[in-house]
Structure 1
């Protein structure tokens, strides 16, 4: 039987720290030169980007009577929402119990516990649905043990989406015009929360979704994923498929390369989601001359010092780690010797999300809800055909 801490004292003054993050101009070559794009630096906000969603979900539940004063909050997380819930729990006076998995970084575990979170770890992925399904199975056990607990269900809770209204307002206030919005997609919350609102301000807004290879969100088959923070092994219903004009799948090679280029040239950087979103935003700025492009950097680099920014980790996973261009001869030799592949410098285009299995940076201009019937299975390409 699990126990949680006594009812914490609420600290509503923390809510004044929510949001109002900087909007930075990014001109780092990713990997080629581009005119520049705007990036909302959510990693500099208290509790991170998902603190916006966490506060909205808990306040919504309290207003509906689903979350009683001082009752525990239980949720599954790969880390980022966990920090947001830790922030919201302290601000609103709720103990927080989180279910993570064995791939959750040791530094993130320590940080969550330092913020007063009770952390449960599952040690093996589920046969169907991977780590997410395993975490959700443990979460349901905890709900049975804690009958007063509230589960926000970030994947399907519309308050998740509503929490990002403030971000949309901040972007709209900072920019005179916006042509292209690039959003990484995990639970679907922040993309749905800002795309619709910004499109009402600028009706011609073009929206690009960024997913991880191995993610099922946009119709690809579920595979083990090295990248965390974007992508999913389940189908979150917060994803608004109709909002996207196209989707890109990005692999770890490209995300690491982008993160490191950002760190070298723009100082601001982040993890897998940030690298993937930056890569696609730079591509959009480069291929749409004169367009105003914006994206969101969901977090900062500190959580990823042992992964994205660790040469030994990257080489152990076959990821290239150096060089200023994807064609640098020295880098190519080191990459080949380590068994890694060079990151792609442009996406491969496929006609539909199910046409070919994406193994690296891939683009599709047809976006569909994969739970709609009669979608063909993607063709898995031969290994030598990967970008």
Structure 2
């Protein structure tokens, strides 16, 4: 059974102008509010990946779709699956919020829950290993492979087209980075309108996407323990790694003073966009807010949870500047204007113990 009319729910999200101090006053920036679409931002990618696979004959009518997700893509796949008539099987992990599990099941998705992270690749590697086992039990199942599927990025061309109609111009685009799909897709399309547009990537501490060593991460929805092929490293002009404390403070300030807020990705992106707007007066800054606040009511917006994780104290209002991605293991908000793919940084080499300095690398610096 399919419901193609659901595809009309994807996209057409609003923009809002943000002037809330984050934490200092700034010149303001535009934010694309993607959670205003029922399927969320990643419904764009989900629909593009499924329709592309159907057109190529890779996904047969009625065949199951199996994917690994930390939550947000799962909602998009649930919408795309209902619209196009495909049962959806999602491999998640025990860190996924109970509310998100309940929501995904309500949307008809079948969940496989991983209980332990991989010792090296973390939850992502463990989910992908389970995904392979699940696929083997489902004849004809198709795996979107969101990390390496080029249709992921293609799905965000519509978002860029909307932005080109909604704002007069963009000098700096600020995007969080996980699979790399929306940063690559939006920047590529917007540069056809504004060729000199600069792209600023927002990652989380403990993520390996831009050459840092993979560590356990509190923040979900951005960052990675693997190297997604969809990340277009050459497209970025700089990258910021943001810590959970800065993201929490930004989310809460947005909620209290701008009403439009979200989760880890939104808080981190807003923090960096505000800093760019403050340090580059006159620049037309645009940020993409990927998610809303609802799945984070028991974490980011819960005082007790934040206190247990040490996230309610004051945070610094500017990033540490590092010269290249492997100069130091970042533990709080940091910025780098040299962006290289991990293979070029030597990021796959084993990390050295804290306090050890080796040629070309620096010791880990505490927060």
TM-score for the superposition, normalised by structure 2:
0.95
Tell me if 1:87 matches 2:79. yes
What's 1:144 paired with? 136
2-side partners of 1:171 and 1:373: how far apart? 34
Structure-2 separation of matches of 1:380 and 1:211: 20
Alpha carbons 2:211, 2:345 under 8 Å: kept = no
Q: Which residue of 2 aligns with 1:163?
A: 155
Q: How big is the shift at 1:147?
A: 2.4
- Measure the CA separation in 1 of the matches of 2:240 and 2:267: 13
Give the Cα separation in 2 of the matches to 1:372 and 1:258.
33
Does residue 345 (structure 1) correspond to residue 288 (structure 2)? The answer is no
1:135 aligns with 2:107: no
2:254 alignment partner in structure 1? 262
Is 1:97 the counterpart of 2:89? The answer is yes
Task: Return the alpha-carbon distance in structure 2 between the equivalents of residues 209 and 373 of structure 1.
Answer: 17
Q: Give the gaps of 5 or more residues in structure 1.
A: 1-8, 321-334, 336-341
Contact kept? 1:160, 1:189, Cα under 8 Å: yes
Tell me what 1:194 maps to.
186
Shift of 1:379: 2.9
Say whether the 8 Å CA contact 1:344–1:360 is kept in structure 2: no
User: Which whole-Å CA distance do the structure 1 matches of 2:209 and 2:365 have between them?
Assistant: 23
Q: Secondary structure at the match of 2:344?
A: coil
Contact 2:64 2:89 in 1 (8 A): yes
Q: CA deviation at 1:382?
A: 4.4
CA distance in 1, matches of 2:2, 2:212: 43
- Counterpart-to-counterpart distance in 1, 2:191 and 2:84: 32
Q: CA deviation at 1:380?
A: 3.5
1:367 aligned residue: 339
Which residue does the alignment assign to 2:232?
240
Residues 37-76 of structure 1: per-residue CA shift (max 9 Å, x gap):
0000001102100000000000000011110000000000
CA contact 1:58–1:152 (8 Å) conserved in 2:
yes
Q: Distance in 1 between matches of 2:74 and 2:363?
A: 35
Match of 1:25 among 7, 17, 39: 17
1:35 aligns with 2:7: no
1:209 alignment counterpart: 201
CA distance 1:235–1:198, shift in 2 (3 Å) = same
Among residues 310, 330, 338, which one is paired with 1:358 in the alignment?
Answer: 330
Q: Aligned partners of 1:161 and 1:177: how far apart in 2?
A: 22
User: How many residue pairs were aligned?
Assistant: 356
Q: CA deviation at 1:204?
A: 1.0
Deviations 1:87-121 (A, max 9, x none): 00000000000000010000000000000000010
TM-score, with length taken from structure 1: 0.91
**How far 1:201 moved relative to its partner?**
1.1
